[in-house]
Amino acid sequence: MKQFITNLVLLFGGAGVGLVLALIAAPSSAGAALVGFAILPLSFFAGLAAWWGIALLNLGWHLMMKKAITRKTASPSDSILKSTTLPGSFMFIPASVIVCLMGGGIVSLISWSSWGLIALCGYPTLGLIYGAVAWIGARRGYIAIDYWLHIALDEWAGE
């Protein structure tokens, strides 16, 4: 339940905060509002994908080095296999900053005013804060990759 609530707050709260920043930077632009609404949820999913990629690379590297050094295969008691939080959750921070920088650039181009500078500087800063909050949530177990994988696989299987 805590994972569901955390994900709900990060997705819909992020969408609301991004929308408010877009309405400040470009008050009469529906395009900026759309970008602002979608940018933080997109950065959340980009962070999940980056986290998953780093976790798989880390696992592969760990298993390959264990085999090369000790000439043994991994056992279920290995620390990396028993970890509750996969390594690489820090990837929420760069993913959020990069996605928000792109979104800030789009909103600043749409706004065509001095408020565009607020969007260009504000969105990456917001992405840094959002990424740090997501990273802390992931480190504490409030965000889990397997939660999203089950949702995606159930949807794909048509259940």
Q: How are the residues of the chain apportioned to helix, strand and coil, as percentages rounded to the nearest 5?
A: 80, 0, 20
Q: What angle do CA 43, 105, 133 make, to 5 degrees?
A: 30
User: Does the pLDDT at position 46 exceed 90?
Assistant: yes
Helix axes 30-70, 14-25, angle to 10 degrees: 130
User: Does the pLDDT at position 148 exceed 90?
Assistant: no
User: Does the pLDDT at position 8 exceed 60?
Assistant: yes
> Which range has the worst mean pLDDT, 4-13, 29-38, 75-84, 118-127?
75-84
Q: How confident is the model at residue 73 (pLDDT cuts 50, 70, 90)?
A: low
Could you tell me the CA-to-CA distances from 77 to 83, 106, 139 in Å, in that order?
Answer: 10, 48, 21
111 or 15, higher pLDDT: 15
Which residue in the block uniquely carries the two structure tokens 């005013």?
113
Q: What angle do CA 32, 113, 25 make, to 5 degrees?
A: 40
**Reduced to 3 states, what is the DSSP secondary structure of residue 108?**
helix
Q: How confident is the model at residue 76 (pLDDT cuts 50, 70, 90)?
A: low
User: Does the pLDDT at position 138 exceed 60?
Assistant: yes
Q: Taking Cα atoms as reference points, which of 123, 80, 85 lies closest to residue 104? A: 123
Angstrom distance (rounded) from CA 43 to CA 108: 18
CB count, 10 Å around CB of 152? 10
Q: How confident is the model at residue 142 (pLDDT cuts 50, 70, 90)?
A: confident
Mean pLDDT of the chain: 81
Q: What pLDDT digit, counting tens, does each position of 78-136 carry?
A: 555 555 567 788 999 999 999 999 998 888 888 776 677 888 888 999 999 999 999 99
